[in-house]
Structure 1
């Protein structure tokens, strides 16, 4: 399952209070666990931004194996708790970042700094958009070494601006995802939530056909196509819905819980 917009409701001016799991979602997750299903969180968030969601869901449960988590849009796969990175993909992001900054010279750039549970940034991001500490760093140093993911954000632009720019540039050597706003995630070619989840199912002896995936963003498209059953949240944009096998209710109407309850119903 995706996190933001799937398990958590998007709100304006995000705060820590935003990270709230509703009883409907919590109960549906635990009914799936009771039935013997594996629950895997898959997000564009960096690893340190995902462990708190696992804690809110109370997973893994006592005596259970470590949780599998797919972070950074598939570039990082880790077990929790404690956090143990078991797979990571990196790439040289400098050329792509330079190409984007030519067109958006005032854009914000961020790369995860796992050791401090935050990010190296060229300038501070708007409140609530990044979790953890933000360490001001020159762009050349931010992308001077191979990285698993780069975030580029321009509060003065739109998502359509970034979609047009990414298509025009081609961004050779990388894959990219544009978010709801002018938010661009750059990752290694071939890396997505689907590739991260493939690593997980290979390890636990399952197949993509065994997977129910639920998500709402453009970074969920590959995952929804890959899974045996891919379900888009009701508020997703059309291209996400078109990639899915089905569409559930919106996040405000507990769409993730609605879909899980089809397969893991409440006792009558």
Structure 2
């Protein structure tokens, strides 16, 4: 049976330098050549992950913003799914920014982003340039956002997450961003990567049992539970390993996902 291979990026497909190694790329290509499909499922926006999609020469739909956007990159797709939340939450958090000890607040959707303090703008993080048009205000953010990110100090992140959940937990989900930055991502309630995969299962009239999913963080938990075979990375959190069907023998720094797929799919 051919598989849909759902892959997280940070800490899973990407190595310690946030790159896809030649071995991982070649392994995924061999899987595709054998008739399997590869779907990227990431918390990143497309502007920060499209380069990996292109590197792997994919033509499958992509899941961004932890499931809030399911789309066919660079194409018009009738089955595209984008889920937003009320923009008032953004402005409520801006009013509490000082008390929460946040460095910055950014709101984004598929096409653009807004940040409340341009002095914190990092081109690498936002994969583009910023002008005064990207300054986050009530006049610029006129649409409900698909995602919001906030940055604080690492030792403050847990308390910020708990405070946001306490205030807005009925309407949003709060996830830790993958990678080295102390960032929380906020999306609409009920949105996770499994939500995006379920949409693809429906669109392509397939079965979740035919999905093998790889992840390393708590925002991958639902995806690994949903998939017919969920695989946690050796470098994954205790939580994600506890729900997985299996754990890779090697971490992301040693092509752990590629190593596992070569054996599992007999590549």
TM more than 0.5: yes
Verify the 8 A CA contact 2:62 2:73 in the aligned structure 1.
Answer: yes
Q: How big is the shift at 1:141?
A: 4.5
Which whole-Å CA distance do the structure 1 matches of 2:123 and 2:129 have between them?
Answer: 12
Which whole-Å CA distance do the structure 1 matches of 2:27 and 2:160 have between them?
Answer: 36
RMSD: 2.5
1:121-170 deviation digits (Å, cap 9, x = unpaired): 11234563332233442343465531111111114644333344345435
Summarize the Cα distance change of 1:237–1:93 in structure 2 as closer, same or farther, 3 Å threshold: farther
Which whole-Å CA distance do the structure 1 matches of 2:145 and 2:16 have between them?
Answer: 27
1:158-199 deviation digits (Å, cap 9, x = unpaired): 433334434543533111112365311111111111101111
Please name the residue that 1:63 is paired with.
Answer: none
Equivalent residue runs for 1:172-251 within 5 Å: 172-179=170-177, 182-248=182-248, 249-251=250-252
User: Please, which runs of 5 or more residues in structure 2 have no aligned partner?
Assistant: 1-6
Match of 2:146 among 135, 138, 148: 148
Please name the residue that 2:114 is paired with.
Answer: 120
Please name the residue that 1:15 is paired with.
Answer: none
Please name the residue that 1:262 is paired with.
Answer: 263
Please name the residue that 2:16 is paired with.
Answer: 10
Verify the 8 A CA contact 2:44 2:65 in the aligned structure 1.
Answer: yes
Which whole-Å CA distance do the structure 1 matches of 2:12 and 2:266 have between them?
Answer: 19
1:91-145 deviation digits (Å, cap 9, x = unpaired): 1042366246363254311122544xx5211123456333223344234346553
Verify the 8 A CA contact 2:214 2:232 in the aligned structure 1.
Answer: yes
User: Please, which runs of 5 or more residues in structure 1 have no aligned partner?
Assistant: 12-17, 61-66
Verify the 8 A CA contact 1:94 1:144 in the aligned structure 2.
Answer: no
| DSSP-derived class of the 2:97 partner | helix
| DSSP-derived class of the 1:36 partner | coil
Verify the 8 A CA contact 1:92 1:143 in the aligned structure 2.
Answer: no
Verify the 8 A CA contact 2:69 2:196 in the aligned structure 1.
Answer: yes
Please name the residue that 1:52 is paired with.
Answer: 51
Which whole-Å CA distance do the structure 2 matches of 1:259 and 1:168 have between them?
Answer: 39
Which whole-Å CA distance do the structure 1 matches of 2:197 and 2:74 have between them?
Answer: 18
| DSSP-derived class of the 1:152 partner | strand
Which whole-Å CA distance do the structure 1 matches of 2:204 and 2:109 have between them?
Answer: 29
Match of 1:86 among 70, 80, 90: 80
